Structure 1
Amino acid sequence: MKIEKGIMRVSLVASILVAVAEGIMAYYLHSKTILMDCVFACFDLLMMCPLLALIPYLYKPVSEERPYGFAQVESLFVCIKYGVLFAVIINLIWENVKVIIAGGHIINAGVVVVFEFILSVFSVFIFLLLRHFSEKYSSMIIKSELYMWKVDIISTCSILCAFAAQLVLVNTQAGFIIPYIDSGVAITIAVFMLKEPLVEIKRNLKELILFAPKEEVMEEIRMAVEKAMADFSYQLAFLDVIQTGRKTWVEIYVKGKDDIICVHDFKMIRKKVLESLNKKFDQIYVEVIPELEKSEQTV
């Protein structure tokens, strides 16, 4: 938990610096592209504050009152976060389309190039720093933060290249496109950003309603279970897996050759499965359950 909170605090401070710098430059240059970047930075900043308050609850144990703990709150939060982001992107695209229809506008490309270069270097530094710390511990929230910084790097580098091209196009036959570069770049970046929110919303909605995880995840767990059971006289009858937020529940239903159940064997199977999957899943819970066959006769 300490590592996660530390990562979020670093990201929070860096986001504040970026948002302030972009806000000042967007106001000074009247740039739609920098304004778009500023909106993303402010959005990430606003969503991060409640997130820092949420993190301690994600580590609270499950109880009868909350059988899944606060795990689903994380999935709900990620859905809200990306839902708002998607709405912001659509709005920014529409606003820039209106600017292009109105004839576009020209801004000081030289100042933008210098500013975006400094911002790119800073964003790369923060991204590498967060990725380094996330190697020790990772979660959906940390991954979403890394994604936001990756997006920021791509957008700043794209803006840098676009306005560097504008400097080259001055006094050339292609100079007529200069008024459309600012809004055109803003729209292009926004369109490329649309996919991630949709993918994350879909995935987290599945977790909220407790759908089975992806086939790759199921197969990975199944292989670990079958390997753990190889040394015991039990057969895998059914595998029930639920993923919500950072928590994964695995229920292994087994069949024996007779009616005798060895609790020690069940404990060993559970231990082996946990050892195999602990490094791949953030918080995983495993239970081994004997399958009780239904009687063919109705009493």
Structure 2
Amino acid sequence: MKMEQTQGAVMPKRSRNQELQTEKRFLQLSVFADVCFVVAELLFAFASHSQSVLMDAAYDGAEMLMMAAAVCLTPLFYRPISEKYPFGYAQVESVFTAVKSAMMLSVMAGLTVNVIQTMLSGGAHVAYGAVSMFQLLLGLVSLCILGVMYVGARKVASPILQTEWMAWRLDVLYSMGMAAAFFGAKVLKDTSLAWMAPYVDQVVALLVVAFALPGAAKMFFGAVKDIFLFAPDEKVLEQVKGICEPLLQAYGFEPVFYDVTRTGRRMWVSVYFHTEGDVLSLDCMRQASKEAQKHLCEKWDYCVCELVPEQA
């Protein structure tokens, strides 16, 4: 693994330029797909008078604008930290992630209100068969793009790609759910349960929101924590301790406090430690720091580790 020197700390480098280009390609693909979806959904919504398709077009339009901005901002996230910008532009990424996840939450809230209003007004009466086929087609295409976004999220440690993967997952759930709902409504309208047909799509929409809401909320609150530089959750702290503690103890260093800060895709780990004796070997400290840095970077690509001696 290549390494780069940044403000006295060694940072991993697996061709940052290559990672940047990879991330931009995935984001550009998402923007292009959003443009195609918006055009198709607007044309179909006006032709079929379907509220659900029109709302989907509005969501995808907002998504398209957000991702176009992300493509422009992405190069900033790869710039190294400096004295002027000690956190680089990582907090910009956290702010963007918070805004994007908040947008997802607001769309879910708007969808929920719209669905309840539709139910109270007697449900939706549209061309069930046509809408079902259209939503099925969108769902299948979205599923393919979801697979591509999943690959991108695993290739590059990018919170933005992670939120985009969640957004496409919501699209797949919504489109498939609507396809099934409208198909069910088409079947029911010719039976004794015809009174249920106008309400099927609203019930499915509420189930989709209930399924997707926890993930979007978790991402939003995680981004807010990163913006204010709060410590990451207990699971991350335990992973850091599990990596650093045995390494330091092998050198006779006893960790007493872990200061872990994360924002965007970057993380800083400061380990305060003490030794039994009065003499501290700088060579041992330097070697222990390198080993801890190496192991932490295997878990988190953009991680800086420093050891801070503390008087026992």
TM over 0.5: yes
Q: Pick from 168, 188, 199: which aligns with 2:187?
A: 168
Aligned to 1:99: 118
Aligned to 1:128: 147
Q: Following TM superposition, by how much is the alpha carbon of 1:123 offset from its aligned partner in structure 2, in angstroms?
A: 1.0
TM-score (norm 2): 0.88
CA contact (8 A) 2:184 2:197 kept: no
**d(CA) in 2 for partners of 1:154 and 1:88?**
14
Shift of 1:134: 3.2
Matched, 1:258 2:277: yes
2:254 to 235, 238, 241: 235
Amino acid at match of 2:40: A
Identify unmatched segments of 5+ residues in structure 1.
294-299
* Counterpart contact for 1:43–1:85, Cα < 8 Å: no
The match for 1:245 is 264
Contact map agreement 2:124 2:198 (CA 8 A) in 1: yes
How many Å separate the matches in 2 of 1:34 and 1:282?
A: 40
Contact kept in structure 2, 1:236 and 1:254, CA below 8 Å: yes
Equivalent pair of 1:36/1:186 in contact (CA under 8 Å): no
Matches within 5 A, 1:147-226: 147-226=166-245
Output aligned runs, 1:7-46, within 5 Å: 7-46=26-65
Distance, in Å, in 1 between the alignment partners of 2:199 and 2:90 is: 46
Distance 2:96 2:214 in 1: 18
Map Cα deviations across residues 52-109 of structure 1 (whole Å, 9 max, x no partner). 1111111112222221111111111111122233223222322332232222331111
**1:291 equivalenced with 2:310 (yes/no):** yes
The 1:247/1:238 distance shift into structure 2, 3 A limit, reads: same
Would you say the 8 A contact 1:72–1:245 is kept in 2?
yes
Of residues 292, 295, 311, the one that matches 1:273 is: 292
Preserved contact between residue 157 and residue 265 of structure 2 (Cα < 8 Å):
no
Q: After TM superposition, which residue ranges in structure 1, 4 or more long, deviate above 4 angstroms?
A: none
**TM-superposition CA deviations, 1:185-216 (whole Å, max 9, x none):** 44443444333332222111111111111111
Letter aligned with residue 198 of structure 2: P
Q: CA deviation at 1:275?
A: 2.1
Contact in 2 for aligned 1:113/1:160 (Cα 8 Å):
yes
Q: How far apart in 2 are the matches of 1:193 and 1:219?
A: 28
- Tell me the secondary structure at the aligned position of residue 135 of structure 1: helix
* Contact 2:247/2:288 (8 A) holds in 1: yes
| Paired residues of 1:76 and 1:204 also in contact (CA < 8 A) | yes
Q: Distance in 2 between matches of 1:138 and 1:164?
A: 39
The CA distance in 1 between the partners of 2:22 and 2:285, in whole Å, is 34
Output the amino acid matched with 2:250.
Answer: D
Residues 139 and 282 of structure 1 are in contact (CA less than 8 Å); yes or no, is this contact kept in structure 2?
Answer: no
Is this contact kept in 2: 1:166–1:181, CA < 8 A?
yes
Distance of 2:113 and 2:140 partners within structure 1: 30
The SS at the match of 1:193 is helix
Q: Show the counterpart of 2:78.
A: 59
Match of 1:141 among 156, 160, 184: 160
- Residue deviations 1:162-207 (CA, integer Å, cap 9, x gap): 1111121122111112233344444443444333332222111111
1:282 to 295, 298, 301: 301
Q: Distance in 2 between matches of 1:73 and 1:205?
A: 12
Q: CA deviation at 1:24?
A: 1.5
Alignment-derived partner of residue 84 in structure 1: 103
TM-score by length of 1: 0.91
3-state SS, counterpart of residue 298 of structure 2: coil
Distance in 1, Cα, partners of 2:306 & 2:178:
52
User: 2: CA distance between counterparts of 1:265 and 1:32?
Assistant: 67
Is residue 32–residue 182 contact of structure 1 (8 Å, CA) maintained in 2? Answer: no
Does the CA-based 8 Å contact 1:100-1:180 persist in structure 2?
A: yes
Q: 1:148-174 CA deviation, whole Å, 9 max, x = no partner? A: 111111111111111111121122111
Structure 1 equivalent of residue 94 of structure 2: 75
